[in-house]
Structure 1
Amino acid sequence: MPMFPARFGTLLATGLLLGAPALAQSGTPLGLVPLPREVHTSAGTYALPQKISVYATGPAAQNVAELLKGFLAPLGKTVALTTNRQAAQIRLLTAAPGAPGGPEGYQLVVDKSGVSITAAGGAGLFYGIQTLLQLLPPKATAAARVPYVRIADEPAFGWRGGMLDVCRHFFPVPFVKKYIDFLAAYKFNTFHWHLTDDQGWRIEIKKYPKLTQISAFRKETLIGAQQMFKTPADFKYDGTPYGGFYTQDQIREVVAYARERYVTVVPEIEMPGHSVAILAAYPELACKPGPYETWTMWGVIDDIVCPTEPTFRFFEDVLAEVCALFPGPYVHIGGDEAPKTRWKESAAVQEIMKKEGYTDVEKVQGWFNRRIEAFLTGKGKKMIGWDEILEGGIDDKATVMSWRGEKGGIEAARHGNDVVMTPTTYLYLDYGQNPQPNSPDEPLMIGGYLPLEKVYSYNPLPKELTPAQQKHILGIQANLWTEYITTPQKVEYMLFPRLLAVAEVAWTPAAQKNYAAFLPRLGQQFARLDAKAINYRVPEPVGLDSLSVVRQDGKAVFTLRSLVPGAQIHYTLDGHLPDETTDRYTKPLAVPQGRRLLVRAVTIAPNGRKSPPTELLVR
């Protein structure tokens, strides 16, 4: 069903449907990410003046107008709100009840009369202005011209999430807000805040002050890549105390900031596993006597809370304060990686099993989860957890986050549970971006290989599910665990540009996705990332691989290109690392066959930053 109302009349011939790149008057692709549902362009541009009047009535439109004022300031524009619709250059309009597109859909029209964005509510208006911003130059210019365009858009999925782990490494409030800005700019609507784990408790709980006095800090941190260590002698520590936490006032500040940008914050309070930091402060909640300490390593530890009545009282008290701080519908309880070693040894757990008639200790975690779920339900919240919560048994009201592949999500959807797809193999952005494990050209990371193209290829709707079951797939989420991500700059390096691929998977229907068409649109985003001083990973040159080589006349011929507009490619044929001083690529590269030759190439972006090298051994 077309989303444009009949009053739009006959659409001009140039345009975009099903993934073909829309062209502005100059013939340059519009570069919109994520790809809208329908885009139609026509000849002409509208020049936004330096002083802009924005028509906005009602709280939602006025909130979006205030945000627009801040977004346009770096472009040298000043914004004033007006009630004179005819005099406004930008008009934020409320759609009629029942208009197509839903609460997050919008229609954007740019013509000789200016810019009109129409939506049913604030979220749609906000996404409309994000699209408008991508039609403007990335930096201040004398004439900011917007191409004539008509866009009708709405998201493919209702859950479009990004998770930040602040437990392994802590990030201050200004950067948490910046992370939310990253999400909002590309039409994500959920920020999953991983607030508690073995290595640190990050949220103030008034009733349990020792959580921020003791659990929020560890005495030191492991040095190097734990997965590479083979013997106890390999484990070295920095000897530096580390930690931090957010006060409840700071939590409220972040939640309010996100809400203004139509992002819902989902807090995660891990239970029953990943809880040794709790035991460091409150060892009486363990199955065996302590002492315990906030963990200084990564991975999974056997020490977890015991499922006794004092533990339930503790979590109910904690969750009561958490529910008051986070107005969104969901509370995440973790539920993953909870070894039962201590539970199997515990007389208290054996008594629970006897009383409940369990022969499998895993069922005790299901019993634990259901009690927590009942408490959350009483607080008006929905429980969500990692896919391990399936193993102990859940009812059909709990929401499952499928991370160990899609199996858990498929099982949950068949059971009638709602699901957020977040498989490691497609959406764990702490995984590496280089095919060479532990490459010296990359920062230290947890391992794995997740290139941009694989992220983009993900389809969250498993073929194994019926259409009715697929309706339980709420959407997707990208996760960023921070064992080896110590600074905001490294967070940005791991997120970008892959987060833009995630945005398109979450927003754009799979039938409209096309990786080849995505890349030139992605290319236009780099200047916008530069304007915001985001430390993205510069992509390597494309074309230096065995599938791209053309062999002719005894030579291997490579045709290279950069994904970054205006970048240069430099290369070497002797295995040395290329830089600005080595040969510059200007035409297809022909190298002799018959002897071993290591070809290496890098992209040097217009801002001077370099990609990691790509290489191929030619024989």
Structure 2
Amino acid sequence: MLIVALLAACHTPVSREQQIISSQQQLADFAANTELWFGVESNLLDQPSRFTGSISLLNQSAAVLPAGIADWQIYFHLIRRIERTEQHGLLLEHIQGDLHRITATAAFKGLTAGQQLQLTYSSAPWIISYSDFMPRAFITVAGLEPELFANTDTEDFNQFVRPLTEPRQQLRNIADGDKFASMTDARRYRQQQQAMPALSPQALQQRIIPMPQQLQQHSGQTQLHQQWQLSAPAALLHEGQYLQQQLAPYFTLRQPDSLNSAAPQLRLALASTAAALQPESYQLTISEQRITITGADAAGVFYGIQSLLALLPVSPAPVVELPQLSISDQPRYRWRGMHYDMARNFHGLDVTLRLIEHMARYKLNKLHLHLTEDEGWRLQIPGLPELTELGAFRCFDLTEQHCLLTQLGTGPQRSGSGNGYFSREQFIQLLRHARAHHIEVIPEIDLPGHARAAIKAMEARYQRLSLAEQPQLASQYLLSEAADTSDYLTVQNYNDNSVNVCLDSSYQFIDRVISELQQMYRDAGAELRLFHMGGDEVAAGSWQGSPACQQLIAQPDNNVNSVADLKPYFIKRVAQLTAKRGLALAAWEDGLMASPQQPFAREQFQNPQVVVNAWDNIWEWGYGDRAYLFANAGYDVVQSPGTNLYFDHPQEAHPAERGYYWATRFTDTEKVFFYRPDHLYHNAEFTRDGTPITDLAALLGRSLPQLEKPKHMLGIQGQVWSETIRTAAQLEQMLYPRVIALAERAWHKAGWEPDKASTAARTDWQQFSQRLGMVELLRLQQSGSGHYLPPPGALLDNGVVKANAAWPGLAIEYSLDQGQNWQQYQQPLAVSQADLWLRTRQGAVHSRLIKL
């Protein structure tokens, strides 16, 4: 339903000062001086899983939107699909993805200067966060360049989203009610009241992250300085160079001097019995005149170096005091990963290189790069220029001959947020950087769904070569079929993003991309060992109207008897293709499910290794046991649960926190820290609406399988999807410090697991968070990275404000002049005015502001 209210008279004659838009200057003036606002009217409707929202226009320009049909259109981004509706002279319709349009019909009465127009619509399921709205709405007029509404051309939601302050705006419209109330300053204060016993400076120094398996402290201190010699065999030349590079802000170690053999020495070595040791393990010993790092392999030495570096003070000094100790350490899992979606929104090379460096610092070793999506293709492929010339950019081009349709708040220009790609040379640089940090890069080309960027690029290639009268070459890599009448709609509201799995050209395209990837890895001195095909969220209805698929189904002896057989058919062909190239295959779990409770038979995919990311840990949906189902079926599993390890979800149940919330209402650093991968079902604490889970089997309505083949459990992986993350700064706020908590659980199995309520568990968290707040956040800042800080808790009691911080080491500051000046909070404040602002701060980074 669409209701349109004109809040000022609609029949005001056009004065000489008010002109119908006919020039670029008039259009620019209209967009600069007309405000467009989004709002949530209510989520708490009689019908569950729906909400009402509003779009308002306030014309403060001298230009006029004329009555009747005209050649103007307003485009805006909204993640909730609004059905086509016409009322009171305006037509609101969905275009593709999150792009919507408003146009005038003959019944429209016009919008003159000083008038405000409000449209109220209904959609599903709900909107409770500012980041659900996208910036950069714009207006177009035939023959003119689009112009952005100036108040929406910002990442500050306060400039274009009405306040979300009422329960009807902050609670989800769930059948049994939303049990996750929005966080308040007072509730946060009460949650943070528990006093944390402070670690001594010595204990804080030695509480490195991730925690080593064994650490034995000896008496005495060792002074490390530039007179020490660094000794490393040729096989560890790179590791020695890396150590010198990291020590450079402090001092440079000397090269070995045979004439001064009595000099203190830092030695890097490979274990003579390495074959008997676990890969990546190491031993670190610090004595008065000798520091030795011995690894089972070069990676182990590298991780020993990280532990040594973690003992250094944050501020460089010419002499460093180190505790004398012995560390014996090895990883909990061989797969300690981080997935990064750079396809929805591209953030550039620098932030990715920093991610690699931080992963290495905390001993993570797999970087899963999500390179392609509906909204973008982010890697240059030689010989297929359209993939990046068209597929890496979004702008206003309804024909999609020059760019993809604008999405996710990019706006109308190719220079808008989220656009771009890695050149071949940049990707090779990235691979070399990862290899130098002992990180394997897993490339993902998402297929057959989520492939709109590739499909549109190859259609453009087809048109280009067809015009050049090269029909055979034109269709060589075509991913779609012009005669396909399939009717479907994806979760992200696309109806044209499924690669046609019945075309041989689709497999030629995949093979070409893999071939080019392999060559890039070779040129980087690395080896591509695993190809991730995505496989997730293929919309029902794909290929139903494809003549090529009907022809394939009609062929005998190919085990394709219906459209339902096409998905495993596709996976088999990709599995065979990758196997021929010596590659293992990986996919997201839903791409490998034969039914909601049954994976495809592992044997039918003729590839020695198939890895699955088990992500759909939504307990009430009945899918929380899939990691065990896949492992028991012979797949290698990487636990990637949406409920605990999706870092695109909010860090607190509050409308100002960025991110989607379909898997869980929030995922803070503490929740990541307490993920228990060896005890999967212990993580089932709440349903999506916030109801505590006391009997998981009863909730799912069936008995729970147990892990029968633990050898197939490779490890765990964090995920960040970037629909709401348009800038590098936003990305790092979502990543850090949750990545650090991920690393703790991936490397170290705590003795308290699975009992997170035990005294040992709470003490471990308190010590971890103290190290985080007082050391690791400053290290992030030193490297040039931003990060998230939890806002303070605050309680106003009889005119006195009490405040506290989530982690030790965070300063609390207050302002009495709307943030112009800040003072340090040291004790409860007696305030005589209500306009008090608070924030936490560590170094140069501060939290979002809260107002009392």
Matched residue type, 2:720? L
Structure 1 window deviating more from structure 2 (250-259 vs 150-159): it is 250-259
Say whether the 8 Å CA contact 1:370–1:394 is kept in structure 2: no
Alignment of 1:165-176 (within 5 A): 165-176=341-352
Secondary structure of the residue aligned to 1:136 is coil
Secondary structure of the residue aligned to 1:141 is coil
Structure 2 partner of 1:518: 768
Say whether the 8 Å CA contact 2:811–2:824 is kept in structure 1: no
Matched, 1:423 2:641: yes
Supply the distance in 1 between the matched residues of 2:411 and 2:669 (Cα, whole angstroms): 33
Matched residue type, 2:394? R
Matched residue type, 2:541? T
Secondary structure of the residue aligned to 2:294 is strand
Alignment of 1:46-195 (within 5 A): 46-59=222-235, 61-75=236-250, 77-82=251-256, 87-98=263-274, 101-195=277-371
Structure 2 partner of 1:567: 811
Supply the distance in 2 between the matched residues of 1:290 and 1:218 (Cα, whole angstroms): 25
Q: Deviations over 1:64-109 (max 9, x none)?
A: 110111111123x113443757645311121122476512111111
How far did 1:215 drift? 2.0
Structure 1 counterpart of 2:625, from 388, 395, 407: 407
Matched, 1:607 2:821: no
Alignment of 1:437-476 (within 5 A): 438-439=655-656, 442=657, 444-447=658-661, 448-461=665-678, 462=680, 466=706, 468-476=708-716
Matched, 1:258 2:476: no
Say whether the 8 Å CA contact 1:385–1:399 is kept in structure 2: yes
How far did 1:25 drift? 7.5
Supply the distance in 1 between the matched residues of 2:777 and 2:442 (Cα, whole angstroms): 29
Supply the distance in 2 between the matched residues of 1:81 and 1:316 (Cα, whole angstroms): 48
Supply the distance in 1 between the matched residues of 2:564 and 2:198 (Cα, whole angstroms): 53
Alignment of 1:196-211 (within 5 A): 196-211=372-387
Supply the distance in 2 between the matched residues of 1:495 and 1:69 (Cα, whole angstroms): 28
Cα distance change on mapping 1:288 and 1:303 into 2, 3 Å: farther
Cα distance change on mapping 1:90 and 1:299 into 2, 3 Å: farther
Secondary structure of the residue aligned to 1:215 is coil
Structure 1 window deviating more from structure 2 (598-607 vs 562-571): it is 598-607
Structure 1 counterpart of 2:511, from 302, 313, 316: 316
Cα distance change on mapping 1:95 and 1:357 into 2, 3 Å: closer
Structure 2 partner of 1:333: 533
Secondary structure of the residue aligned to 1:332 is strand
Cα distance change on mapping 1:140 and 1:132 into 2, 3 Å: same
Matched residue type, 1:72? L
Structure 1 partner of 2:563: 361
Secondary structure of the residue aligned to 2:253 is strand
Say whether the 8 Å CA contact 1:21–1:30 is kept in structure 2: no
Structure 1 partner of 2:60: none
Supply the distance in 2 between the matched residues of 1:583 and 1:144 (Cα, whole angstroms): 31
Matched, 1:584 2:825: yes
Matched residue type, 2:252? T
Matched residue type, 2:846? K
Matched residue type, 1:370? K
Structure 2 partner of 1:532: 783
Supply the distance in 1 between the matched residues of 2:397 and 2:677 (Cα, whole angstroms): 36
How far did 1:605 drift? 2.1
Secondary structure of the residue aligned to 2:550 is helix
Structure 1 partner of 2:27: none
| Structure 1: segments with no counterpart, 5+ residues | 1-19, 223-233, 292-296, 592-596
How far did 1:330 drift? 0.9
Matched, 1:381 2:579: no
| Structure 2: segments with no counterpart, 5+ residues | 1-195, 399-406, 460-477, 486-490, 522-526, 595-599, 604-608, 618-623, 682-703, 754-760
Matched residue type, 2:568? G
Structure 1 window deviating more from structure 2 (424-433 vs 353-362): it is 353-362
Cα distance change on mapping 1:88 and 1:525 into 2, 3 Å: same
Say whether the 8 Å CA contact 1:602–1:611 is kept in structure 2: no
Supply the distance in 2 between the matched residues of 1:241 and 1:608 (Cα, whole angstroms): 32
Cα distance change on mapping 1:289 and 1:237 into 2, 3 Å: farther
Q: May I ask how many residue pairs the two structures share in their alignment? A: 560
Structure 1 window deviating more from structure 2 (253-262 vs 506-515): it is 506-515
Q: Deviations over 1:282-304 (max 9, x none)?
A: 2342133599xxxxx96654432
Q: Deviations over 1:378-414 (max 9, x none)?
A: 1111000101222253525311111111433222112
Cα distance change on mapping 1:81 and 1:385 into 2, 3 Å: farther
Structure 2 partner of 1:508: 748
Matched, 1:395 2:602: yes
Supply the distance in 2 between the matched residues of 1:148 and 1:601 (Cα, whole angstroms): 46
Q: Deviations over 1:211-263 (max 9, x none)?
A: 223222222599xxxxxxxxxxx998621115322232322221121111100
Q: With structure 2 as the length reference, what TM-score do the two structures score?
A: 0.60
Structure 2 partner of 1:241: 414
Secondary structure of the residue aligned to 2:352 is helix
Secondary structure of the residue aligned to 1:188 is coil
How far did 1:325 drift? 2.6
Secondary structure of the residue aligned to 2:568 is helix
Structure 2 partner of 1:31: 207
Secondary structure of the residue aligned to 1:344 is coil
Supply the distance in 2 between the matched residues of 1:340 and 1:71 (Cα, whole angstroms): 52
Structure 1 partner of 2:718: 478
Q: Deviations over 1:456-503 (max 9, x none)?
A: 111223355655423211111111212222222221111111111111
Q: Deviations over 1:34-59 (max 9, x none)?
A: 11111122332211113542110032
Structure 1 partner of 2:53: none
Secondary structure of the residue aligned to 1:78 is coil
Supply the distance in 1 between the matched residues of 2:295 and 2:788 (Cα, whole angstroms): 35
How far did 1:425 drift? 1.4
Supply the distance in 1 between the matched residues of 2:408 and 2:803 (Cα, whole angstroms): 45
How far did 1:556 drift? 11
Supply the distance in 2 between the matched residues of 1:128 and 1:422 (Cα, whole angstroms): 27
Matched, 1:285 2:479: yes
Bigger CA radius of gyration: 2
Supply the distance in 1 between the matched residues of 2:562 and 2:309 (Cα, whole angstroms): 56
Q: With structure 1 as the length reference, what TM-score do the two structures score?
A: 0.81
Structure 1 partner of 2:730: 490
Matched residue type, 1:560? N
Say whether the 8 Å CA contact 1:579–1:602 is kept in structure 2: no
Matched residue type, 1:473? M
Structure 1 window deviating more from structure 2 (135-144 vs 188-197): it is 135-144
